[in-house]
Amino acid sequence: MRTVVLTSLLLGGYLLAPAVARASQPVTSVPALDLSRYAGQWHEIAHLPLVFQRGCAGDITAQYSLRSDGSIGVRNACRTHEGGLASVEGVARQVQGHAARLQVRFAPGWLGWLPWVWADYWVIALDADYQWAMVGEPDRKYLWILSREPSMDAALFARLKQQAQDMGYDLSPLVLAAPLRDSGLAPDAARDEADGAPVQSPDLTGQDRSR
């Protein structure tokens, strides 16, 4: 009986090992981020569910602007289920020593000294031409796929999802917030095109939360 139990435990551990290894792969940011190129308007293509986005029905955007004091102005907006426009403004700051790791705050400025009002915002994948980006954080609670255009090529979207899953993200609840375009290519060609898309690779030796 002991032999059977021990064998079952060992077999179970063996089968679970790959999944555990995948989940433990760290979320990493890209090695470089030019804020002047990253600034401007982004369209949200998809996100993991968040309480503060429940009221958004579509047309979700994020606008970033550089400030004279070195911080980044943030304005998130969306079309509500009632047909109106909702928006919120905040501020972001870079994490020292990590160009692609920011911290974002939507709380009033006088609360800025409190560490828990700042949320991690890591750029974990980025197009070389700054036409799309994927944003996450180390606990895998948040994820946004962003594009300069209000839609995204389906093959590219699938590639970014796979990259997030390789970092341990559970994307089963992922919310698609914008339309995907059919590349018009055969499956193998679409995959080759996505694999060839210019992208910054994360620094796998690195380690920060919000859009």
Buried b (16+ CB within 10 A) or exposed e, 95-114: beebbbbbbbbeeeeeeeee
Per the CB < 8 A criterion, the answer to whether 134 and 160 are in contact is: yes
Looking at residue 9, its pLDDT comes to 31
Per the CB < 8 A criterion, the answer to whether 88 and 75 are in contact is: yes
Token pair for 71: 């911080």
Looking at residue 183, its pLDDT comes to 72
Of 65 and 200, more confident: 65
Percent pLDDT > 90 in the chain is: 62
Tell me the C-alpha distance between 25 and 134, whole Å.
Answer: 17
Looking at residue 50, its pLDDT comes to 84
Tell me the C-alpha distance between 140 and 165, whole Å.
Answer: 10
**pLDDT tens digits for range 102-136:** 999 875 554 554 644 688 999 999 999 999 999 99
H or E element, residue 199 = strand 199-200
Looking at residue 52, its pLDDT comes to 73
